[in-house]
Amino acid sequence: MRRNLPILGVLAVLLVAIAIANPFFLEPEGFLAFVKRAAPLAILAAGQYFVIVSGEFDLSVGSLVTAEVVIAARLIDGDPGATWPVVLLLLAFGALIGLVNGMVTTLLKVPSFIVTLGMLLILSGAVFLWTGGSPRGALSEEFRQFGRGSLGPVPWSVLILVAAVAAVIALMRSDFGRTLLAAGDNPVAARLSGVRVLRVKTTAFVLSGLSAAVCAVLLGGFAGVSAKVGEGLEFQAITAVVLGGVALGGGRGSAVAAIAGAFTLQALFTLLNLYGISGALEFTVQGLILVLAVALGSVQFPRRAKSASTTA
């Protein structure tokens, strides 16, 4: 828990700042609306966390989200009966892409940066090829409920987020979580102590692909169908994870902090909007905060000597 403190502190400060600028934020409705907006990125960041902590990158999630939303719209085409089968298909597709990423990375020994970059190109190209440039079809109302609707006062996306966070925490406390950290910290040592490094890393990619599928279901409902729905999400997810103090290169950091990083990023967007910096200099402020926050983080947790990760 102590490791999570810096990012939770930053998040608390941002939330207080939002509340001062906009008192509606303190009411349950306002706060839940914020959580609902943050849910897709938080889930995506949780998936990215597994990959990063295992010492790899997943750059393909943004285009995977776009692909999933476009596929959903095309297959459902407004037919409510198709909702559940398509949701299952989306999850399977996300897991499959993760499996391919993971197997190529581990079995063919291609750097994951390149594997997932290639997957990014393949997915975005294939989706546009299939749709001829502009997405067709429509999502059903039932499908959109996941991202838009709510159970009583609580939005579905918040419930899904809570379930995802619980699952992530359970996973990281299980044997899988411990071996994942070990594999990310020092793959050779982990392998020699009996960890099936290849399998654990591949599982991390599958989880990332699954998280992209869930994120796509939420975003499709929330934002609708567009060919740009996932644009830049991979960088946002990686940013969120790193903001949470997780070390690129693997082996360090907590899942809760990574998810808190996603909330921090969303809180930052909200705050910039409230103070009217949106649009124009929003990105500049975001970039400055990103570099400075990570710089501060590295002061608090001295990074391992870089050779430690290259010898591995």
Residues at the site binding another protein, with contacts judged by CB under 8 A:
55-57, 104, 108-111, 113-115, 117-122, 124-126, 128-129, 133, 187, 235, 238-239, 242, 247-250, 279-288, 290-292, 294-295, 298-299, 303, 305-307, 309-312
- Given a contact cutoff of 8 angstroms between Cβ atoms, the answer to whether 169 and 46 are in contact is no
Q: What does residue 150 show for φ and ψ, rounded to 5 degrees?
A: -150, 155
Comparing CB distances to another protein, the nearer of 52 and 218 is: 52
What minimum distance in Å lies between the beta carbon of 196 and another protein? Answer: 16
What minimum distance in Å lies between the beta carbon of 187 and another protein? Answer: 6
What minimum distance in Å lies between the beta carbon of 251 and another protein? Answer: 11
Through-space distance between the first and last CA atoms of the chain, rounded to whole angstroms: 28
Q: Which amino acid does the sequence have at 136?
A: R
Comparing CB distances to another protein, the nearer of 24 and 235 is: 235
**E strand or H helix that includes residue 155:** strand 154-155
Q: d(Cα 255, Cα 42) in Å, to the nearest integer?
A: 11
Comparing CB distances to another protein, the nearer of 210 and 268 is: 268
What minimum distance in Å lies between the beta carbon of 234 and another protein? Answer: 11
Distance of alpha carbon 113 from the chain centroid: 16
Q: Where are the alpha helices (DSSP H) in 224-281?
A: 233-243, 255-274
- Given a contact cutoff of 8 angstroms between Cβ atoms, the answer to whether 48 and 238 are in contact is yes
Comparing CB distances to another protein, the nearer of 19 and 271 is: 271
Task: Compute the C-alpha angle 61/15/163, nearest 5°.
Answer: 45
Comparing CB distances to another protein, the nearer of 120 and 218 is: 120
Residue 138 DSSP label: -
Q: d(Cα 121, Cα 106) in Å, to the nearest integer?
A: 20
Comparing CB distances to another protein, the nearer of 104 and 233 is: 104
Q: d(Cα 155, Cα 221) in Å, to the nearest integer?
A: 12
Comparing CB distances to another protein, the nearer of 98 and 187 is: 187
Q: Which amino acid does the sequence have at 142?
A: E
Q: Where are the alpha helices (DSSP H) in 54-174?
A: 61-76, 83-107, 112-131, 141-148, 156-173
Comparing CB distances to another protein, the nearer of 79 and 282 is: 282
